[in-house]
Structure 1
Amino acid sequence: MKALLSLSPDVAVVEPTGVNYSKFWVTKLAEAGVEIPLVGHKQLHAYRVNLDLPDKDDSADALALACYYMEHNQSDRRFVRIRDPIVSQIRDIVLRLQHLNRVQSPIINRMRQDLAWQFPEVAMTSLNAPLFWGWLAGERKSQRYDKKLINSSGLGLESEVIHSAKAICVLQRRERALEVLMRNLMKDLRFLKYRKVFAQFGFGERTEALILSQIYPLENYFDADGKPEVRVAIGRESGKPTKRHLSRRRFQKALGVAPSREDSGDKKKSKKAGSSLIKMALW
């Protein structure tokens, strides 16, 4: 980093290789007052191919990034936008919550298989029963579950299930703490109008947070004059003037619901382009 800053750079063009790998460089460079345009993978790949530069070559990538910036630095839409700090924090929390959910699933599945013969009466207990999991981990007392275990037709609890229950309790507490932090960040008054719309659809908190982190602020999808961008073009088949709502299409793509056409000879097909993360959340 010292060697990089010794060059006294005004601009550092970055291909964001995942949130965690680029975070260090982006943060340190921003603290030093360096402008940081981010170039998307898809855009850089197409640009490098167009320049006939070798693939998987760091020097070629660096040259392509520099040329891309020199050619397109007047157009913000050519670059990946840097999110608002609070929005970035919300997105990070949502991704961590998804990770915690994925981590818990195999542990829960394994425990249910074990409980099926150790304590079958409670094998399918939901995660929304904190008393049970706390009791199973030995962290909470419950006469109800004590009696159930005594009268159980199972073969008795083994230590592995108890250790797994402790792991679930730790993960659940971390999940709750992250949800509280996310809830507090979502109270920012700038998000109020967005959340009123989300409420009309009955979105859950995590879905709200994920969508907000993807689309905020809506002004990013507008034209330079702050209005939705609409262009009129002649339809290829009808030959008539057709309105193209570009701002709406960009918004739909951010949500993963914009159709993308792929024509090849007589074959014409379309698929949904955009964020798979948001598509899953909406589904």
Structure 2
Amino acid sequence: MTIPYAEVIGDPIAQSKSPKIHGFWLGKLGIEADYRAAHVRPDQLADYLAERRQDPLWRGCNVTMPHKQAVMPHLDRIDSAAGAIGAVNTVLKGVESGLAGTNTDASGFLEPLKADLAETHYYRMARIIGTGGAARAIITALADKGFTLVVAGRDPDKARALLDELAPKGEHHAIHLSHFADPTDFAFDDREGCLDLVINASSLGMQGQPPLAFDWSHAPPGSIAYDIVTAPLDTPFLEGARAKGHRTIDGLSMLIGQAAVAFERFFGAATPREHDAELRALLTS
């Protein structure tokens, strides 16, 4: 390797779309650099970072499961975004400052919601399914945007602990995942002027994982359904939302959004987002 490079690390890592995304942008911009995937097991994490510290060509790495929190003790500093979320998804290498951790998941998640969030609402509510690393970023991001949150997980105590840690100022709610599985006859009030989100922030519905049991009677009229799963891209969760007339946002939106922030930090160039349609076609072919 004789050119600058960045990586994505995780265990497993073969499913990652990040090399295709970053490689696409490098090609469009004509930047002589590389981006690749590295399979790093938990017991290899410390050695991996120690080796990369010594490589002058390494610009940093994106961090996926299960390393987003485990990587933090190995870094020289952690910025406010990652500190607030309590997880790192991007490691940057400075010439003198060592290894710095940041988190681009929150900004990536919010990107397709920018137009909605620019409007004024008298009430915002988000139903969030999942209590993992992605959920941490989403909880933090939405609490900062004035949402009342309902977090559902297999362990409601864990959901409650996340809310107490990440969104202590709001009147938020933690419930068991099964709450959303059965139909409800709840009569929603007028949602005019409200912003309602229903978010799958878990791996449920992903290839090789159990399906997500969600009955759409739990979603107010006009809700936006957002699924962070990328394989398959059009999940049964999103199909069910469309069948009920809800707008949907798929997992590539967050993935591309968070990758764009990291790319600019790795390679010092703005991403060519005018080619997003072409990129999506590449990732789904």
For Structure 1 versus Structure 2, the TM-score category normalised by the shorter chain is under 0.3
- TM norm structure 2: 0.21
Work out which structure has the larger RCO, using CA pairs closer than 8 Å and 6 or more positions apart in sequence: 2
Higher strand share: 2
- TM norm structure 1: 0.21
Higher helix share: 1
